[in-house]
Amino acid sequence: MATAAISPSYAGASSSSKTGLWSWLTTVDHKRIGALYMFTSLAWFAVGGLEALIMRWQLKGPNGHVVSAEVFNQLFTMHGTTMIFLVVMPLSAAFFNFLIPLQIGARDVAFPRLNAFSYWVYLFGSLFMNFSWVVGQAPNGGWFGYAPLTTNLYSPGLNIDFWMLGLQILGVSSLAASFNFATTVINMRAPGMNLMRMPMFTWMAFITQFLLILAFPVITIALVFLQFDRFFGTNFYTMSAGADPLLWQHLFWIFGHPEVYILILPAFGLVSEVLPTFSRKPLFGYPVMVYSGILIAFLGFGVWAHHMFAVGMGPIADSVFSITTMLIAIPTGVKIFNWVFTMWGGNLRFTLPMKFAITLVALFTIGGISGVMHSSPPADLQQTDTYFIVAHFHYVLVAGSLMGLWAGIYYYFPKMTGRMLNEKVGNWHFWLTFIGVNLTFMPMHWSGLFGMPRRIYTYDAGQGWDIFNAMSTWGAVIQGIAGVVAAYNIWYSLRKGAIAPADPWGAPSLEWSIPSPAPEYNFAEIPRVTSRYPLWDVKSPELTVEVPHSKHGDERNDVEMGGKHVGSFHDHMAAGTPEGGVNPNAKQASTKVSIKTAEELGIPMPYPTIKPLFVALFMTLMFGSLMFIHEGKTALGVGLVSAFAFAMTAMLYAWLTSPLEPHHH
């Protein structure tokens, strides 16, 4: 019975009293940084989508010549790089930022200023990489940048420099963020929030941080080798010096395959939040969902060479990587079935988040199955470098990751902004996306199996590819329209969307126990958690009878701690009792709660600071100045790099020696 009706209404509450450009440049609030990540990555989504549309328009029919072969190379390189590093990863990071502290009952991340730093590095790195369009030398070596193709010998221009330096800068952002979020999850959980009570999104995000921590250093080194080869004349990728032509491929895919799970696991997590809420059932097989996520991540480090079957590694290597790749389908299949069983017998509500989530379950399965098809080396030899592969990974990343992320956006928009996304416009967005995605990527299976290679900029008629390409192009156009509709929905709903209550969906986790939008300190008092579904325990205890509970939460917390008694019951946030059962006075008691500021509550908040932005800016300029060395202006390059390195270090010292927040005892 418990739905939005019982939740207190905090209409008009503002996340923070501080507004204006300066407050955004200096913010260290994880929710604001999450919003910055979200809107920046959606802007790049528009850019990456436009790049795809130009390519699709070129391929609409045979012998298309909208752009030259060179520009086409730049388009597919930047489309892939943008969508992976500037859209899906940071959009996932938007949810890491916004959700992890809210879901584990914390007031911020472990290192708020490092968090701001990660965002600014992402922003400057993405601008740096796309600056290549302005100088007309956009990266053109594919998102995988295979060396030796990307060495000076074959790619003498600045194109690859923009790509490799841009990725190096973005890597700093991802690594800094991963240390931060891993620490946050390990160390900042509310009392009683055991690991096995964490919401599934937080779990998948936690696993993703380990993938980032362990995978990014490998591409960092691969890129360092490439930089040294291009700038300083080393021989890592010089075949005439005896270098191994597969070195880059191995290093890149040791990073690149875990990267695939970095892109999909957060979306899996979001779907695992949405499905239980709109099925009114606990997630089916919660522990197995956790273990399968861990297993996917673990196996993800042992499958990289399945991207390289065509290079001729020999039967033993091919067999090993074929088997590990097939194995990874097992935990992934477990997840699919668990989502289906979560919905089975539930009271399904087909809201927009639910529609996007179900679409992930259905369509990701298609991409997953085609993935198992090319885990077999003989089959892969037929499919590799054809549009069949393009179809596969777009079903995984667009019909998978992006659907999950859209589910997350529709689900969490009220908590982020205090307003609901419009349902009617959202329905247009959903159906256009659904039709567009399938119309674009389904025919690519056929064009691929009929032999159409990837990355060709044009093709001749009479090869049986025409109709499938025309379908893909019109599907892409529909996706483009869907993107415009979504942008309109966000723009409209930010101003005129319905005011969101604290818990508009009847959800089970902690983030819905606080007002929408969340106050700057998140939780007026840190909650104590006694099960996986703390809010359902209060509002709909009948839903959680089969979920393990502890009556008293974490035993460490009913004690004196640091001279304070902890463990006292707090009634304005939880409309009920710890053991469950609805407090009959909750509605009246909580509808008129006014939002207090952090100062009124005596909660220490971190000072806003501009320093992380400047450290990020100087770092980006330091990396960017390396390009002068490639242009032969070595003295200028070395001078600028040294100057920016000094400025960065000085600003870093200024940051580290200034206090995080007002001193307290």
Instruction: Please give the C-alpha separations between residue 507 and each of 10, 280, 405, 412, in angstroms, as whole numbers.
Output: 17, 8, 18, 11
Which is nearer to other proteins, 218 or 640 (by Cβ)? Answer: 218
Is-catalytic flag, 155? no
Options 241, 316, 545, 635; binder of other proteins; rule CB under 8 A: 241
Q: Which of 537, 595, 618, 622 binds other proteins (CB under 8 A)?
A: 537
* Contact pattern from residue 160 through residue 179 relative to other proteins, giving x for each residue in contact according to CB under 8 A and a dash for the rest: ---------------x--xx
Active site residue 261: yes
- The answer to whether 173 is a known catalytic residue is yes
Residue 282 lies near other proteins (rule: CB under 8 A) = no
**Phi, psi for residue 561 in degrees, rounded to 5:** -140, 120
Helix (H, G, I), strand (E, B) or coil at 453: strand
**If binding is defined by CB under 8 A, does position 651 make contact with other proteins?**
no
Run of H or E including 278: helix 247-279
Is there a cis peptide before residue 148, judged by omega within 30 degrees of 0?
yes
Q: Which is nearer to other proteins, 75 or 121 (CB)?
A: 121
Residue 562 binding other proteins, by CB under 8 A: yes
All residues at 6 or more sequence positions from 611 whose CB lies less than 8 Å from its CB, including other chains: 113, 651, 654, 655, 658
Binding residue (CB under 8 A) for other proteins from 36, 42, 172, 190: 190
- The strand ranges marked E within 304-444 are none
Residue 422, CB-side half-sphere exposure with 13 Å CA sphere: 17
Whether 332 sits among the annotated catalytic residues: the reply is yes
Q: Does 182 bind other proteins (CB under 8 A)?
A: yes
Q: Which of 30, 31, 56, 189 touches other proteins (CB under 8 A)?
A: 189
CA-CA distance, 169 to 482, in Å (whole number)? 32
Among 11, 154, 156, 244, binds other proteins (CB under 8 A): 244
> What secondary structure does DSSP assign to 137-172, as a single string?
----STTTT-TTTTSTTT--SSHHHHHHHHHHHHHH
564 binds other proteins (CB under 8 A): yes
DSSP per-residue letters across 581-612: -B-TTHHHHHHTPPPPPHHHHT---PPP-SHH
Is 423 labeled as catalytic in the residue annotation?
A: no
- Work out whether 217 is an interface residue with other proteins (CB under 8 A): yes
Query: Among this protein's residues, is 250 annotated catalytic?
Result: no
**In this chain, which stretch among 74-82, 186-194, 352-360, 401-409 interacts with other proteins, using CB under 8 A?**
186-194
Catalytic status, residue 257: yes
Residue 308 found at the interface with other proteins (CB under 8 A):
no
Phi-psi region of 349 (alpha: psi -120 to 50; beta: other; left: phi over 0): beta
Task: Judge whether 272 counts as a catalytic residue.
Answer: yes
Whole-angstrom distance, CA of residue 524 vs CA of residue 10: 14
Q: Give the span between the Cα atoms of 239 and 242, in whole angstroms.
A: 5
End-to-end CA distance of the chain: 44
In this chain, which stretch among 117-125, 206-214, 347-355, 455-463 interacts with other proteins, using CB under 8 A? 206-214
525 lies in the site for other proteins, by CB under 8 A: yes
In whole angstroms, how large is the CA radius of gyration of the chain?
A: 25
With CB under 8 A as the rule, give the number of residues binding other proteins.
Answer: 81
Q: Based on the residue annotation, tell me whether 307 is a catalytic residue of this protein.
A: yes
Q: Six-digit token pair at 414?
A: 């009220």
**Taking CB under 8 A as the rule, does residue 157 contact other proteins?**
no
Q: How far is the CB of 553 from other proteins (least distance, A)?
A: 7
Residue 68 bears catalytic tag:
no
123 in helix, strand or coil? helix
Q: Positive or negative CA dihedral for 522, 526, 529, 534? A: negative
**List of residues 6+ apart from 418 with CB closer than 8 A:** 10, 12, 13, 14, 15, 499, 500, 516, 517
CA 630-634-638 angle, 5° bins: 110
Least spacing, CB of residue 659 vs other proteins, in Å: 14
Under rule CB under 8 A, residue 359 binds other proteins: no
| Binding of other proteins by 470 (CB under 8 A) | no
How far lies 514's CA from each of 109, 328, 415, in Å? 17, 38, 9
Q: Please choose, out of 30-38, 160-168, 233-241, 343-351, the segment that lies near other proteins by the rule CB under 8 A.
A: 233-241
Here's the x/- map for other proteins, 598-627, by CB under 8 A: it reads as ---xxxx-----------------------
235 binds other proteins (CB under 8 A): yes
Query: Mask: binding to other proteins, 367-406, rule CB under 8 A, as x and -?
Result: ----------------------------------------
> In the complex, what is the shortest distance from the CB of residue 284 to other proteins, in angstroms, rounded to a whole number?
23
For other proteins, give the closer residue by CB, 374 or 539: 539
CB–CB of 117/31 below 8 Å?
A: no
Residue of 524, 613, 616, 641 that binds other proteins (CB under 8 A): 524
- Selected catalytic residue, list 92, 151, 174, 447: 174
Can 335 be counted among the known catalytic residues?
A: yes
Cβ-based nearer residue to other proteins, 76 or 523 = 523
Q: Is 552 assigned a catalytic role? A: no
Closest CA to 419 of 516, 274, 487: 516
Kindly tell me which residue out of 14, 23, 234, 427 binds other proteins, with binding defined by CB under 8 A: 234
Active centre residues (catalytic): 79, 108, 143, 173-174, 257, 259, 261, 272, 306-307, 332, 335, 454
